[in-house]
């Protein structure tokens, strides 16, 4: 026995899921539909299989290969070449079909007893036997009438005759002699066309009515229902996963945080991370390497692989393609379908039944109540007040930063030098090397400052006369690692809005700089922190601070930031206590408390009594030291509003000189402002 699997369907009825995925490769419980067909054939001893391809054939070939991984032997034929009259390809197919063969669609799901059907076919010595379904509730399919002897008496696309009928399932058993009767071997690509052709030629046909599960998956609703049927055990197909609890199927490794609620039946793929407080309802399927962030709820939802669901999102009865990203607090209505690679912004609302074509971007806070086929694939703005931010390896990937760096290079004059710096997180360092590679490929020289903080980059850009710089920071935000890329101009300041817009335009229009005539040079400069520290010492009275013996309670996320502060504080005779401000500054007997934020660019200050300075009070102190900067000196390389360490040292220096507490300084400034 041999078989021909028809894997050439485009699957228009499953759009937008099938825009870039052949219907035979659409996943059912995280496995391609065609894999169930291969498994069925092997179960009944049929291992020599031809596969007819047309739409995106490479996707089928790449996944199944020669079939050895599945215990079968696969040979591929392209249906377009058959129809076009490629004699060599037609002859090869004719030689392959030298035995009784099963012609079966690769985009159906069935647990048909093929052995019984083959026995029926051979018993009647039929030239061709149609495998039929007696389930008349399924209206889609070829209508076939048979007599008591099992002979086919009529075929039609819809019911036009009286009497009961059966539906063609897309499975036909044929003898090799039938090949010579076909006017066009391309007719094999459509079982309905094959049956019509044979019936019109008067060739006797048999009809075997199976008592088994069958679905043509002819709509998005049926696509969801098929997976419910698989989870309910209505299909005689094993689910290759372990059960954590009855009906809770898990493939491979799984990360589950506290307070996760699971309601079976459901399937969770390999490498999935369910964060604290998530809820996954019955009949949900989560693709491999997907993340469901804190507090989100999924109900009867199908996620394809590598999808991301943001915090507090509500996804009900939806289907999401691979590599999709759903922002925080997004609401997806019932029967929403989102294509591959889409990005839906925070707090957006997508109404029930909306279809979104692949690689579309929905802006933050948008309400979508109609199908989205055309539109921009990227948000209008990449930059926010901090720079460019997003979830690591979801929004901000090595591929993304490589394109972003190329768009940035497009704005730079030849011979530019860009400084690069990143925090100590391995992923941030990886992104830095992606940026470095892309800039060098565009002919831009780079200077690697190594591991560091944003103020260190801003200082180094000026001191080394760079054209600009990029700092990459990872910070934990509500359970996820958030990446921030900060761009600096030649003065170490944030790039202006005009430059931001130019970079965004280049990204959208894919205007990238590339150069083979001159590749950029990479330089390594890891002494920037030492230079920054020495310049900082010149701005304060070290002797006075040492005499005072100042103690500061420091709270910050990065251990690296603390490791930078320790030698600085030690050299100035200061004591750094690491702890939580919430525990109370006074309980540590510290002179002040400081919470460092945004890679050392921002801070919050607390007096010895634990009172937090307001934003206005802090801004007032920053303004004082901004106005007293001495242009043309090293001090000009510090930015009080973007350098928390500098402003902290200036305040400590002032307090020690005046023998004041932070609370006293605030009172003085309040009185001075009243007099003004």
As a whole-number percent, the residues of the chain with pLDDT over 70 amount to 89
The answer to the question of residue 373 being in a domain is: no
Tell me, yes or no, whether 247 and 125 share the same domain: no
Q: Looking at residue 83, what is its pLDDT?
A: 45
Tell me, yes or no, whether 35 and 119 share the same domain: yes
The answer to the question of residue 236 being in a domain is: no
Residue with tokens 């089928």: 60
Tell me, yes or no, whether 360 and 407 share the same domain: no
Q: Looking at 332-341, 376-385, 584-593, 627-636, which range is the least confident one?
A: 627-636
Name the pLDDT band for 376 (thresholds 50, 70, 90).
low
The answer to the question of residue 500 being in a domain is: yes
Tell me, yes or no, whether 122 and 17 share the same domain: yes
The answer to the question of residue 379 being in a domain is: no
Q: Looking at residue 137, what is its pLDDT?
A: 57
The answer to the question of residue 234 being in a domain is: no
**Would you give the DSSP letter of residue 265?**
S
Tell me, yes or no, whether 541 and 664 share the same domain: yes
Average pLDDT of the segment spanning 137-157? 74
Instruction: Summarize the chain as % helix, strand, coil (round to 5).
Output: 35, 25, 40
Per the DSSP assignment, residues forming a β-bridge with 451 are 422
For residue 637, pLDDT over 70 is answered with yes
Tell me, yes or no, whether 348 and 263 share the same domain: yes
Average pLDDT of the segment spanning 95-102? 83
Tell me, yes or no, whether 521 and 554 share the same domain: no
Q: From 502, 493, 330, select the one nearest 410 (Cα to Cα).
A: 502
Which of 526, 556, 576 finishes a domain?
526
Tell me, yes or no, whether 294 and 317 share the same domain: yes
The answer to the question of residue 382 being in a domain is: no
Q: Looking at residue 79, what is its pLDDT?
A: 64
Q: From 259, 192, 240, 229, select the one nearest 110 (Cα to Cα).
A: 229
* Distance between CA atoms of residues 264 and 282, nearest Å: 5
* Distance between CA atoms of residues 220 and 21, nearest Å: 14
Tell me, yes or no, whether 70 and 20 share the same domain: yes
Q: Looking at residue 477, what is its pLDDT?
A: 59
Tell me, yes or no, whether 605 and 642 share the same domain: yes
What is the tens place of the pLDDT at every residue in 15-35? 999 999 999 999 999 999 999
What is the tens place of the pLDDT at every residue in 189-224? 566 677 777 777 888 888 898 989 999 898 999 999
Element (H, E) at 661: none
Say if pTM beats, i.e. exceeds, 0.85: no
Q: Looking at residue 632, what is its pLDDT?
A: 43
CATH label of the domain that carries residue 131: 3.90.550.10
Q: Looking at 110-124, 442-456, 548-562, 615-629, which range is the least confident one?
A: 615-629
Contact 150, 99 (CB under 8 A): no
Tell me, yes or no, whether 138 and 248 share the same domain: no
Name the pLDDT band for 388 (thresholds 50, 70, 90).
very high
CATH label of the domain that carries residue 608: 3.40.120.10
Task: Look up residue 139 and give its two tokens.
Answer: 């209206």
Pairing of strands 480-488, 417-422: unpaired
Q: Looking at residue 411, what is its pLDDT?
A: 93
Which of 491, 526, 561 finishes a domain?
526
**Which residue range is the domain that position 650 belongs to?**
531-675
Name the pLDDT band for 155 (thresholds 50, 70, 90).
confident
Burial of 45 (0-12, 13-18, 19+ CB in 10 A): exposed
Contact 79, 190 (CB under 8 A): no
For residue 139, pLDDT over 70 is answered with no
Average pLDDT of the segment spanning 107-122? 93
Q: Looking at residue 318, what is its pLDDT?
A: 96
Give the residue with greater pLDDT, 543 vs 153: 543
Average pLDDT of the segment spanning 461-481? 85
Name the pLDDT band for 444 (thresholds 50, 70, 90).
very high
CATH label of the domain that carries residue 261: 2.160.10.10
Q: Looking at residue 81, what is its pLDDT?
A: 41
For residue 500, pLDDT over 90 is answered with yes
Which of 526, 555, 574 finishes a domain?
526
Average pLDDT of the segment spanning 343-365? 92
Tell me, yes or no, whether 427 and 469 share the same domain: yes
What is the tens place of the pLDDT at every residue in 176-192? 887 666 655 555 556 66
Q: Looking at residue 180, what is its pLDDT?
A: 67
Domain count across the chain: 4
The answer to the question of residue 232 being in a domain is: no
The answer to the question of residue 375 being in a domain is: no
What is the tens place of the pLDDT at every residue in 525-543? 989 989 998 998 888 898 9
Q: From 437, 439, 387, select the one nearest 417 (Cα to Cα).
A: 439
Q: Looking at residue 631, what is its pLDDT?
A: 47
For residue 114, pLDDT over 90 is answered with yes
Looking at every residue in the chain, the average pLDDT score rounds to 87
Average pLDDT of the segment spanning 494-518? 85
Q: Looking at residue 98, what is its pLDDT?
A: 80
Residue with tokens 């260190």: 456
Q: Return the number of other C-beta atoms located less than 10 Å from residue 635's C-beta.
A: 18
For residue 159, pLDDT over 60 is answered with no
Average pLDDT of the segment spanning 551-580? 87
For residue 91, pLDDT over 70 is answered with no
Q: Looking at residue 275, what is its pLDDT?
A: 92
For residue 251, pLDDT over 90 is answered with yes
* Distance between CA atoms of residues 185 and 188, nearest Å: 6
């Amino acid at each position: 026995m041999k078989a021909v699997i028809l894997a050439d369907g485009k699957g228009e009825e499953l759009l937008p899921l099938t825009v870039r995925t052949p219907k035979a490769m659409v996943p059912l419980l995280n496995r391609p539909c065609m894999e169930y067909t291969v498994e069925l054939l092997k179960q009944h001893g049929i291992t020599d299989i031809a596969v007819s391809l047309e739409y995106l054939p490479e996707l089928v070939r790449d996944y199944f290969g020669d079939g050895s991984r599945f215990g079968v032997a696969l040979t591929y034929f392209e249906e377009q070449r058959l129809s076009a009259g490629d004699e060599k390809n037609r002859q090869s197919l004719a030689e392959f079909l030298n035995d009784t063969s099963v012609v079966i669609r690769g985009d159906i799901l069935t647990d048909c007893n093929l052995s019984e059907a083959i026995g029926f076919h051979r018993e009647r010595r039929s030239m061709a036997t149609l495998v039929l379904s007696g389930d008349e509730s399924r209206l889609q399919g070829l209508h076939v009438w048979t007599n008591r002897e099992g002979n086919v008496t009529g075929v039609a696309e819809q019911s036009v005759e009286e009497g009961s009928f059966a539906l063609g399932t897309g499975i036909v058993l044929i003898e090799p002699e039938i090949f010579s009767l076909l006017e066009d071997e391309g007719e094999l690509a459509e079982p309905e066309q094959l049956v019509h052709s044979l019936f019109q030629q008067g060739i006797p046909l048999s009809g075997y009515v199976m008592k088994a599960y069958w679905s043509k998956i002819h709509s998005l609703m049926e696509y969801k229902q098929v997976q419910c049927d698989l989870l309910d055990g209505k299909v005689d197909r094993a689910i290759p996963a372990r059960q954590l609890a009855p009906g809770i199927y898990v493939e491979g490794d799984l990360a589950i945080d506290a307070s996760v609620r699971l309601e079976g039946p459901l399937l969770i793929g390999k490498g999935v991370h369910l964060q604290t407080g998530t809820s996954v309802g019955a009949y949900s399927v989560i693709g491999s390497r997907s993340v469901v962030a804190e507090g989100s709820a999924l109900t009867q939802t199908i996620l394809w692989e590598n999808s991301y669901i943001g915090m507090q999102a509500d996804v009900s009865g939806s289907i999401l393609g691979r590599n999709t990203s759903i922002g925080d607090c997004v609401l997806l209505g019932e029967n929403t379908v989102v294509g591959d690679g889409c990005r839906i912004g925070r707090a957006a609302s997508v109404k029930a039944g909306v279809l979104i074509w692949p690689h579309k971007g929905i802006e933050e806070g948008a309400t979508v109540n109609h199908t989205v086929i055309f539109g921009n694939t990227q948000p209008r703005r990449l930059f926010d007040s901090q720079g460019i931010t997003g979830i690591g390896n979801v929004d901000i990937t090595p591929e993304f930063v490589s394109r972003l760096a190329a768009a940035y290079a497009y704005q730079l004059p030849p011979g530019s030098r860009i400084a690069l710096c990143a925090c100590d997180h391995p992923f941030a360092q990886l992104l830095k090397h992606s940026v470095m590679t892309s800039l060098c490929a565009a002919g831009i020289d780079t200077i690697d400052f190594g591991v560091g903080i944003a103020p260190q980059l801003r200082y180094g850009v000026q001191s080394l006369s760079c054209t600009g710089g990029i700092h990459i920071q990872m910070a934990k935000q509500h359970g996820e690692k958030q990446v921030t890329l900060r761009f600096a101009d030649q003065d170490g300041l944030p790039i202006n809005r005009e430059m931001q817009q130019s970079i965004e335009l280049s990204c959208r229009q894919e205007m990238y700089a590339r150069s083979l005539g001159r590749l950029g040079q990479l330089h390594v400069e890891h002494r920037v922190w030492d230079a920054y520290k020495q310049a900082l010492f010149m701005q304060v009275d070290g002797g006075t601070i040492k005499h005072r013996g100042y103690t500061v309670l420091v709270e910050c996320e990065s251990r690296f930031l603390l490791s930078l502060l320790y030698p600085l504080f030690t050299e100035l005779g200061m004591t750094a206590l690491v702890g939580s401000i919430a525990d109370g500054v006074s309980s540590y007997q510290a002179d002040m408390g400081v919470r460092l934020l945004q890679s050392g660019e921002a801070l919050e200050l607390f007096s010895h009594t634990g009172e937090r300075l307001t934003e206005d009070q802090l801004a007032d102190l920053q303004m004082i030291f901004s106005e007293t900067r001495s242009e043309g000196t090293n001090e000009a390389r510090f930015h009080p509003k973007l350098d928390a360490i500098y402003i902290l040292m200036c305040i400590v220096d002032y307090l020690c000189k005046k023998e004041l507490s932070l609370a006293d300084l605030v009172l003085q400034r309040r009185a001075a402002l009243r007099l003004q």
